[in-house]
Amino acid sequence: MNGALRLPPRPRPRLPRRPATAQRQRAARPFEEIVAEHGALVMRVCRALVGPDDAEDAWSETFLSALQAYPRLRAGSNLRGWLVTIAHRKAIDLLRGRTRRRESPLDGSELAAPGPAAAGDEELRSALDALPPKQRGAVIYRYLAGLPYAEVGKLLGSNATAARRSAADGIANLRKRLSKGTS
């Protein structure tokens, strides 16, 4: 390897540049960078939303769908919020498909059941899955995905104020559930 070749200053742009008009307003970073930067976060969100067994499917569906839409994404868009929104929709599709595949409707225990590939905090996962849907969503999107309350509200079909309350209630409920047996 020739280390010396790494050092020279950035060369001037050498490829012909097209006029920077409409195209400039679109996302122009290579998608590879987006996967590298946000892949792990999207995976954590998928694990929380659909559980460990389906998380990889949800992750793949999310990034495939994002890749498709990516050239049309406006420059300067909040990528994390965009990806989490796609993951949210993919998780709903996946859970609906899962319900459809079963003869009897979910009784709730399935959602919390650890699969063979399960890893991480099972107790937390079941406590989270036992929360009312809005609280569960608010906790995941606010505290795991790190979205602002306004975006959390949009994802939950409400608003920032309601999302803030749901997140606070969710955390309070988790404290109650997870404290049982520890004190």
What residues line the site for another protein (CB under 8 A)?
1-2, 5-6, 8, 10-11, 13-16, 18, 23-24, 26-32, 35, 39-40, 43-45, 47-48, 52, 55-56, 59-60, 63-64, 67-68, 70-71, 117-121, 124-125, 128, 139, 143-144, 171, 174-176, 178-179, 182-183
Q: How far is the CB of 106 from another protein (least distance, A)?
A: 21
Q: How far is the CB of 115 from another protein (least distance, A)?
A: 11
Q: How far is the CB of 105 from another protein (least distance, A)?
A: 26
Which positions ≥6 away from 34 have C-beta within 8 Å? 66, 70, 79, 83
The partner residues of 26 in beta bridges, in order of sequence, read 74
* Cβ atoms of residues 131 and 138 within 8 Å: no
- Considering beta carbons, is residue 160 or 168 the nearer one to another protein? 168
Q: Kindly compute the dihedral angle of the four CA atoms of residues 173, 108, 61, 170, in this order, to the nearest 10 degrees.
A: -10
Q: How far is the CB of 27 from another protein (least distance, A)?
A: 6
* Distance spanning both ends of the chain, measured CA to CA: 60
* Cβ atoms of residues 73 and 82 within 8 Å: yes
- Considering beta carbons, is residue 49 or 156 the nearer one to another protein? 49
* Cβ atoms of residues 62 and 83 within 8 Å: yes
Q: How far is the CB of 158 from another protein (least distance, A)?
A: 21
- Considering beta carbons, is residue 109 or 179 the nearer one to another protein? 179
